[in-house]
Amino acid sequence: MADTTLTVRADAPIGTVSPRLYGHFAEHLGRCCYDGLWVGLDATNIPHREGFRTDVLEALRAMPTPLLRWPGGCYADHYHWRDGVGPPAERPRRLGMSCDLQVEDDNGLGTHEFLRLCALLGAEPYLAGNMGTGSPQELCDWLEYCNTPLDTTLSRLRAANGAPSPFGVPLWGVGNENWGCGGNYDAASYAREYRRYATMLRHVDPHAELVACGYEDDWNAELLATLGNRLHLVDHLSIHHYWSHGGPELDFDDADYYALLAEAAETEAFVVRTAAIIEDATGGRRRIGIALDEWGVWHPEVRTWGPGATARRAPVTYEQAGTLRDALAAAIALEGFHRQCATLSLANLAQIVNVLHAPVMTDGAAMWLTPTYHALRLHAPHLGATALPVAGDGPLVLPDGSAAVTATATSGDRGLAVTLVNRHLDRSADVCLVVPEVAGDAGAAVLTADTPRAVNSADDPERVVPAVLEVRADGPGRWRLAMPPHAMATVRIGPAA
């Protein structure tokens, strides 16, 4: 008998896994935007394309990066878009502020540069507007500047700055964390302010998808209740979810290991609760998607809030070690995203380079990929495919009695893909994969290491990389594979396997 039997229900599709569920977040914070992505047009020591690091661009394209949110974060509620357009030498030098950091900000990476980055990456752009120190007029102007096809002073300015055609930016956030860094609003005051912004933005571009700032359950319910009969002004409700209960980034104990994975799994429950609040407020008459705008692990070494007695690194640059454990946590969260793809409209891992749960790290000329990068890349077959339910059964369980091996499956143009996680710290799992009525060749790649504390680094960039995993046919519609402990793998079945 197998340790775990996973049965994929190809006859009971859940919905489409929008590529937007694999979005990313780039904030002007620490070395994410400046240094990590942008080295500037004049950089001579780092190969770049139009100011963006070539090595990072290539990695992010391959990951892939279908959606990118910018410029914040808390930074967004101080940001004035006009500072970042026009000749770079004439752009003002501002105080860049986010998360208790202050930097000298030369605005070299502005709207045109960011939208060029999105074009190079094949990413949909998502701009976060300023409600903290901005105005409805300023945000309407940014929307007009980016999206109007008409001949106006702002579109002429856009053309003069190199973009005669509209950018057609689809997604617009109305503030960020306005319950906190974005102005310390209460839910009802934010709702009234949102109504004003959204009404005016809709006049400028009725097709722009507007994202309202959500928070926890009570805020979300009050926000939507206050919007009342104006819910048509909301396309997406933004929530953020950072995991903070996993102990130290590297030197975690076994209980911490399981705590982080459990916290990652609970992300799904937050999405489910938020969906119920939306359903309650709309009566099912309007679709408001859930935008999980920021998610991932935020370790105590780089945190000024939350649990954990670990000494904080000084100064806090928001750079943390990304271990195999973090990659497994991401894979577990993605299982939930697939299951909730009918209500979760987008999700952005925080953040894309050098900050928090980053898939890519840089140090001077060096660049390396974290285990989370490889986890995301192993999920690539799921983008745009149809999510299918997976039922698990078998004796292998974690200390809390929950299943050790879990999985998500999708069916797409190139066959079936199943991504499995063996959460068990030290037990390998003999897995039987059952997909009734499905035939084809199977192949798999696995991501693991001798310890879940393993990291990649500039000196050892390939310590945690995918490897081939053997998959054996075990009769019609059945396959067998051995999952190592603390590991994830993607099995592909079909012509492209």
Catalytic residues: 177, 294
Cβ nearer to ligand AHR, comparing 18 with 351? 351
* Touching ligand AHR, residues 36-55 (CB under 6 A): none
Segment lying near ligand AHR (by CB under 6 A), choices 69-77, 340-348, 382-390, 464-472: 69-77
Contacting range for ligand AHR; rule: CB under 6 A; set: 50-58, 68-76, 465-473, 484-492: 68-76
| Contact pattern from residue 289 through residue 318 relative to ligand AHR, giving x for each residue in contact according to CB under 6 A and a dash for the rest | -----x------------------------
Sign of CA dihedral 345, 245, 398, 455: positive
| Site membership for ligand AHR, residue 73 (CB under 6 A) | yes
Q: Does 319 bind ligand AHR (CB under 6 A)?
A: no
3-state SS of the chain is CCCEEEEECCCCCCEECCHHHHEEECCCCCCCCECCCECCCCCCCCCEECCEEHHHHHHHHHCCCCEEEECCCHHHHHCCHHHHCCCHHHCCCEEEEECCEEEEECCCCCHHHHHHHHHHHCCEEEEEECCCCCCHHHHHHHHHHHHCCCCCHHHHHHHHCCCCCCCCCCEEEECCCCCCCCCCCCHHHHHHHHHHHHHHHHHHCCCCEEEEECCCHHHHHHHHHHHHHHHHHCCEEEEEEEECCCCCCCCCCHHHHHHHHHHHHHHHHHHHHHHHHHHHHHCCCCCCEEEEEEEEECCHHHCCCCCCCCCCCCCCCCCCCCEHHHHHHHHHHHHHHHHCCCCEEEEEEECCECCCCCCEEEECCEEEECHHHHHHHHCHHHCCCEEECEEEECCCECCCCCECEEEEEEEECCEEEEEEEECCCCCCEEEEEECCCCCCCEEEEEECCCCCCCECCCCCCCCCCCEEECCEECCCCEEEEEECCCEEEEEEECCCC
Question: Minimum Å distance from CB 133 to ligand AHR?
Answer: 15
Q: Which is nearer to ligand AHR, 70 or 479 (CB)?
A: 70
Judged by CB, which is closer to ligand AHR: 78, or 158? 78
Based on CB atoms, which residue is closest to ligand AHR, 29 or 409? 29
**Minimal distance in Å, beta carbon 292 to ligand AHR?**
12
Contact pick of 7, 18, 65, 98 for ligand AHR (by CB under 6 A):
98
Compose the 273-292 pattern: x for residues touching ligand AHR by CB under 6 A, - for all others. --------------------
- Nearest-angstrom CA–CA distance, 351 and 354: 7
Q: 471 with 481: CB under 8 angstroms?
A: yes
Q: Which is nearer to ligand AHR, 73 or 84 (CB)?
A: 73
* Structure tokens, 479: 């396959």
Residue at shortest CB range from ligand AHR: 73
Cα 54 from chain centroid (whole Å)? 22
- 208 lies in the site for ligand AHR, by CB under 6 A: no
Q: How many CB atoms lie within 10 A of CB 129?
A: 26
Shortest Cβ 318–ligand AHR spacing (Å): 7
Asked if 27 is part of the footprint of ligand AHR (rule: CB under 6 A), the reply reads yes
Given the rule CB under 6 A, which of 78-86, 350-358, 382-390, 480-488 is the region that contacts ligand AHR? 350-358
Q: Which residues on neighbouring strands pair with residue 213, listed in sequence order?
A: 238
In the complex, least distance from residue 360 CB atom to ligand AHR, rounded to whole angstroms: 16
Q: Which of 67, 121, 350, 409 binds ligand AHR (CB under 6 A)?
A: 350
| Residue 466 binds ligand AHR (CB under 6 A) | no
Binding segment (CB under 6 A) for ligand AHR, from list 67-75, 102-110, 146-154, 274-282: 67-75
Sequence-separated (6 or more) residues with CB below 8 Å from residue 129: 76, 139, 142, 172, 173, 174, 175, 197
Kindly state the smallest distance separating residue 228's Cβ from ligand AHR, in Å: 27
Q: Is 72 in the site for ligand AHR (CB under 6 A)?
A: yes
| Segment interacting with ligand AHR, rule: CB under 6 A, options 66-74, 255-263, 397-405, 460-468 | 66-74
Q: Please report whether residue 96 would count as binding ligand AHR according to CB under 6 A.
A: no
Sole window of 213-221, 276-284, 348-356, 467-475 interacting with ligand AHR (rule: CB under 6 A): 348-356
CB of 475 to ligand AHR, least distance (A): 48
When asked if residue 74 is in the footprint of ligand AHR (CB under 6 A), the reply is yes
Total number of residues binding ligand AHR (CB under 6 A)?
14
- In Å, the largest CA–CA distance within the chain is 72
The residues in 413-452 that bind ligand AHR, with binding defined as CB under 6 A, are none
Residue with tokens 């999700």: 347
Please say which residue, 187 or 433, places its beta carbon nearer to ligand AHR: 187
Which one of the spans 71-79, 85-93, 116-124, 192-200 is the region binding ligand AHR (CB under 6 A)? 71-79
What is the distance between the alpha carbons of residues 415 and 229, in angstroms, rounded to a whole number? 44
- Enumerate residues 225-254 that contact ligand AHR by CB under 6 A: 240
- Least separation, in Å, of the C-beta of 355 and ligand AHR? 7
- Interaction between residue 178 and ligand AHR (CB under 6 A): no
Interface residues with ligand AHR (CB under 6 A) are 27, 29, 72-74, 98-99, 176-177, 240, 294, 350-351, 356
